[in-house]
Amino acid sequence: MVIDVVHNTQEVFRTILHCMSRPGTIKNIDGIGSRMEQLEKCHHATFLSVMTLLDAEVSFHIIGGNAAVLEELFTAYTLSTATDLGQADYIFILQDAQPQMIHEVFRRAKKGTLMNPQQSATIIMETKKLSNDPLLTIRGPGIETMENVHIAESELWRFERAEANQEYPLGVDMILIDCQSNMMCLPRTTKFQDCEVS
């Protein structure tokens, strides 16, 4: 058994829940389940998130990488269907996605409606490195005062994310994953504040 669909997905969910309710907190899920050999094109933690969140009731869209191969794989394992970027419930941005495509995601992703803000996309994004180095600070619900975060190449999408989330409660929530299977979440309520260098 590569991934125990009962207990491993529960562990992954609790990790996502912990990170989503405490933005900026980094948790590692490398030890959960074992790596699948045919998964060269997406991180182990990304696949674990797929197994945890996706099923026939939701749709997804993949940006970057070998999208066609992964789409087939995700559907085979979860029965979830691939769909257009503007319709997808879960959008996967893989490590090798082009910057202009990332901008496109934040522009076109579902933000929900004022009546139903939950009908919005969750963006699951692969990044090179996540840490709590004091490069940026974030604030918002789930953070006592502020939290330091360093997300590799976040300058590519921070502005677009802020635009997508400017009309709270509309917006997109993010799950960030790095190649060491570290995970960090940024719900729509979290705001970046660039650190001042003194």
Q: List C-alpha distances in Å: 63 to 6, 70, 100, 105.
A: 28, 10, 11, 8
- The footprint of other proteins on residues 115-174 (CB under 8 A) is 115-118, 120, 122, 141-144, 168-169, 173
- 77, 189, 191, 195: residue in contact with other proteins (rule CB under 8 A): 189
34 near other proteins, judged by CB under 8 A: no
Q: What is the dihedral of CA 15, 96, 172, 83, to 10 degrees?
A: -100
User: Closest CB to other proteins among 48 and 53?
Assistant: 53
Joined together, the tokens standing for residue 191 give 């705001």
Report, in Å, the least distance between residue 114 CB and other proteins: 4
Closest to other proteins by CB, 58 or 82 = 58
CA distance 165 to 189: 8
Q: How many residues bind other proteins (CB under 8 A)?
A: 37
What number of CA atoms fall less than 13 Å from residue 95's CA on the CB side?
Answer: 15
Strand partners, 183: 27, 177
Side-chain half-sphere CA neighbours of 182 within 13 A:
17
Is 76 one of the binding residues for other proteins (CB under 8 A)? no
- Binding other proteins by CB under 8 A: which of 34, 87, 113, 166? 113
Which helix (H) or strand (E) segment is 185 a member of? strand 182-186
Interaction of residue 53 with other proteins, rule CB under 8 A: yes
Classify the phi-psi angles of 9: left when phi > 0, otherwise alpha if psi is within -120 to 50, otherwise beta: alpha
Nearer to other proteins, 53 or 105 (CB): 53
12 versus 97: smaller Cβ distance to other proteins: 12
Binding site for other proteins (CB under 8 A): 5-7, 9-11, 13-14, 16-17, 20-22, 52-55, 57-58, 113-118, 120, 122, 141-144, 168-169, 173, 187-189
